[in-house]
Amino acid sequence: MKQLTLALVAHDAKKDAMADFVARYENDIRPFVLFATGTTGGRVMERCPSLSVTRLKSGPLGGDQQIGALIAEGKIDALFFFVDPLSPHPHDVDVKALMRLALVYNIPMALNPATAERLIESFRR
């Protein structure tokens, strides 16, 4: 059985929520190959030092695009992107491009912890 790959991205105001989520579901997430944008990956690794996370560049410095490239290459099986809908984001174009790629390549995408939880449950089956 193929090892699944999960990408983790979170806006600044949602990075703690992502780290909390991963910590809560650490045993379920452990079997995944994990990629994350720089700061998000750092927060996750601080909370869950036993997880192996490949950290890419920070989102505004190209990390969103790196994850988008991995999606386009068929190397990402699911995307957890915790979005902060209440704050402006200077790299909003990159964010939209990443979400567009997830839609084009038909990969499951969770934009909040509730949806991510449902995806985790579906991976248990």
* Catalytically active residues, by annotation: 64
Q: Are 32 and 3 in contact (CB under 8 A)?
A: yes
